[in-house]
Amino acid sequence: MDVTTYFRNIAAWVNRSTKESAFVFIHGYNTTFEDAARRTTQITYDIRFKGAPVFYSWLSNGDPGDYICDEEDMRWSTTNLEKFLADFAQESQADQFFLIAHSMGARALTSAYVSLIHNYSALKEKFIEIILSAPDIVSDIFKRDIAPAIFAGTGKLTLYASSKDKALQLSSEMHGGYPRAGESGANLIVLEGMESIDLTSVRTDFLNHSYAVENRSVLSDIYHIVHNSLRAHERFGLEPVSTSFALNYWRFKR
């Protein structure tokens, strides 16, 4: 499909929705085009999204043994993702955008977004919230470089993390033991201006890595973010957990 036809079709879909909204889903490692399409469809159905649901498929090999190759393809795709998000924000006629990324896709999204709001600052008001599920990003880099830049853009950021995520534990080992932003427990990132949700009690697949695209409770939580703009303290099913530095994080009620 040529670009003009694509955005004409997207705009028609957006204009049929009540809030003229769209979300873009960026998948993680070991995910084929077909898998990404299926997950996007499932998210759309489960959160009852009426705007334009879109996924950006970077060139994952869809093979669990190709982590390093996927990592390089993800880096290669970041500039293209930035350009796509800029075009999408300008051509889709949507007034509200939600960005949802999983695992290694969160690395691509955050890098593209930080560059986007620098190069296209007028567009940042359109991006309502960034939702990161099990982000496979070095924790310290996320805290020092990424989160502050995101706060300068949307100002709204939700992080879903787990201490039982085997995929992120393996990624940490592969990268010299550096904790990942999607890990909780002692490594949970809690920052002022960001809502951190500890999903350690939530179980999905064998790796405990796909909760935000498979678990009904988590999808229900995302529903209230997208449809009702509710913050964590307003969403049913979450309870606050205090930290030693006067900030809360959240977990699902037992």
Residue 168 located in a structural domain? yes
For the chain, give the percent of residues with pLDDT over 70: 97
Residue 243 located in a structural domain? no
pLDDT digits (tens, 9 = 90+) for 145-204: 999 999 988 779 999 999 999 889 999 999 999 999 999 999 999 999 999 999 998 876
CATH code for the domain in which residue 80 is found: 3.40.50.1820
Residue 246 located in a structural domain? no
Has residue 205 got a pLDDT over 80?
Answer: no
Q: Which residues share a beta bridge with 196?
A: 159
Range(s) of the domain holding residue 85: 3-227
- Can you tell me the distance from the alpha carbon of 75 to that of 90, in angstroms, rounded to the nearest whole number? 24
Predicted pLDDT of residue 212: 67
- Can you tell me the distance from the alpha carbon of 233 to that of 216, in angstroms, rounded to the nearest whole number? 19
- Can you tell me the distance from the alpha carbon of 135 to that of 178, in angstroms, rounded to the nearest whole number? 13
Rg of the chain (C-alpha set): 17
pLDDT digits (tens, 9 = 90+) for 92-112: 999 999 999 999 999 999 999
Strand, helix or coil for residue 99: strand
What count of residues does the chain have?
254
Residue 251 located in a structural domain? no
Residue 249 located in a structural domain? no
- Can you tell me the distance from the alpha carbon of 215 to that of 42, in angstroms, rounded to the nearest whole number? 11
Strand, helix or coil for residue 214: helix
- Can you tell me the distance from the alpha carbon of 165 to that of 21, in angstroms, rounded to the nearest whole number? 32
